[in-house]
Amino acid sequence: MTAFEPAPAPGYVVLAAYQPPEVLFTRQLRSIQAQTLSAFRCIIVADGGADDVRAMMRHAVGEDDRFAVAGFDERVGFYRNFERGLAEVPLDAPWVALSDQDDEWMPDKLAVLVSALDRAALVSGQARVVTYPDGVVVAASTHRRSVSAPALVLENQFSGALCVFRGSLLQTALPFPHYPGPAQVHDHWLAVCAAVTDGLDVVDRVVQDYVQHSSNVLGEADTARLGWRQTLRRRREALRAETDVRGLRAVAKSLYAVNAGWTEAMVDTLAARVDDERARQLAAAFSGHRRRGRNVRTVVAAARRGEISPRTAVVHLIGSAAWTVTGGRRS
């Protein structure tokens, strides 16, 4: 594992913003401004509407020159917007934290997580899940945990808003994999990159409130309640809206896209960038040229260890098999 030594240079907070609710946005920016680890720059990446975002930022933090807006006219969605923000981070940045636009950080969040980067390339804390505006505590902790690399590829355990990672990880992670459809997730990709380089860790400490409201892109409470049938139905409905494909082929494609396709895209990208035994092992199980038996054994083993849910195992194996037998494997 590569040694990590904290540097005097500032770290970077990358916050992706899209039409942020002003009350929540202001609260979040002020919680970042109040961090006890104060040597940072905060890049707010506006996915359209940069002037409005800049005005809200100035109202929230005043003339604090640690905060700046990088505005883009073209809207690309949260996955690509985080990619644009990370591309703004200098190559020599000692650490990077990701931020949503509507949470609230504890004052020592950065200090706690950055100090843990001496043992892993990417570190996650825990969050308290709170609804807005009524303030009901849905869960006292998100219970994030470290798992093996194959299990992580199948089922993400790392939410970007809870994570800090070494700046050097961007040499592997950028650019993000190109994958059609909504399955692509920036924090999943970053965690997988860390898993095959200098490792992952979880600090069992609540470092922020994870705020749930009607405009969340990905909601913690909703995700926890969503069953595998609902997952597949949502993906099938999205596919019908995106393409004219119908019938058995449409069903096979939607099953594939939910999990197996995104897994394949991540692993194929890693195999092209990382010359490491861990990357090669993942490629044997999940890449576009995976071994069918190896794929099944790896998924079943992760489920038996309790590292992934039975739902994830079923969705992945059905999707992988269905798309293969219809002759539509991703090129």
Structure-token pair, residue 27: 């609260």
Q: At 221, is the pLDDT very low, low, confident or very high (cuts 50, 70, 90)? A: very low
Please state whether the peptide bond connecting residue 20 to the residue before it is cis, i.e. omega within 30 degrees of 0. no
Is the pLDDT at 35 greater than 70, yes or no?
yes
Q: What share of the chain is helix, strand, coil (3-state, %, to 5)?
A: 45, 20, 35
pLDDT in tens, 273-296: 999 999 999 999 999 888 889 999
- For residues 151-169, average pLDDT: 96
The CA distance from 21 to 268, in Å, is: 38
What H or E segment, with its residue span, contains residue 72? strand 67-72
Tokens representing residue 186 in the block: 């920036």
Query: Which band of pLDDT confidence, cut at 50, 70 and 90, is reported for residue 84?
Result: very high
Q: Is the pLDDT of residue 46 over 90?
A: yes
| Element at 281 (helix H, strand E) | helix 277-286
Contact 150, 285 (CB under 8 A): yes
Bridge partner residues of 45 (DSSP):
16, 70
Other C-beta atoms closer than 10 Å to the C-beta of 280 total 14
Residue 217 has what pLDDT?
A: 47
The H or E element spanning position 47 is strand 40-47
How many C-beta atoms lie closer than 10 Å to residue 74's C-beta? 9
Helix axes 277-286 and 292-304, enclosed angle (nearest 10):
100
CA 301 to chain centre: 24
What is the three-class DSSP state of 259?
A: coil
Which range has the worst mean pLDDT, 144-158, 227-241, 261-275? 227-241
Give the H or E element holding residue 68: strand 67-72
Report the C-alpha gap between 199 and 30 in whole angstroms: 31
As to burial, measured by CB atoms within 10 angstroms (0-12 exposed, 13-18 middle, 19+ buried), residue 251 is: middle
* Partners of residue 163 on adjacent β-strands: 124
Question: Across the chain, what does the average pLDDT equal?
Answer: 87
Place of tokens 């359209």: 48
Q: Domain 11-212: which topology? A: Spore Coat Polysaccharide Biosynthesis Protein SpsA; Chain A (3.90.550)
pTM of the model as a whole: 0.88
pLDDT for residue 110 is more than 80: yes
Question: DSSP letters of 7-29?
Answer: -SS-EEEEEEESS--HHHHHHHH
Please give the Cα distance from 181 to 296 (Å, whole number). 24
Domain boundaries, given as residue ranges, for the chain = 11-212, 227-325
* Cα distance from N-terminal residue to C-terminal residue, the chain: 34
β-pairing verdict for 163-166 and 95-99: antiparallel
Give the list of residues 6+ apart from residue 153 with CB closer than 8 angstroms, or none: 192, 263, 266, 267, 282, 286
Higher pLDDT, 213 or 56: 56
The residue whose two tokens read 């490629």 is 283
User: Would you say residue 254 has pLDDT above 90?
Assistant: no
Q: Stretch 157-174: mean pLDDT, rounded?
A: 96
Q: For residue range 172-198, what is the model confidence (pLDDT) as tens digits?
A: 999 999 987 678 999 999 999 999 999
pLDDT confidence bin for 326, thresholds 50/70/90? low
Lowest mean pLDDT among 216-220, 277-281, 307-311: 216-220
Residue 225's pLDDT band, with cuts at 50, 70 and 90, is: very low
Q: pLDDT grade, residue 117 (50/70/90)?
A: very high
Give the C-alpha separation, 307 to 298, whole Å: 11
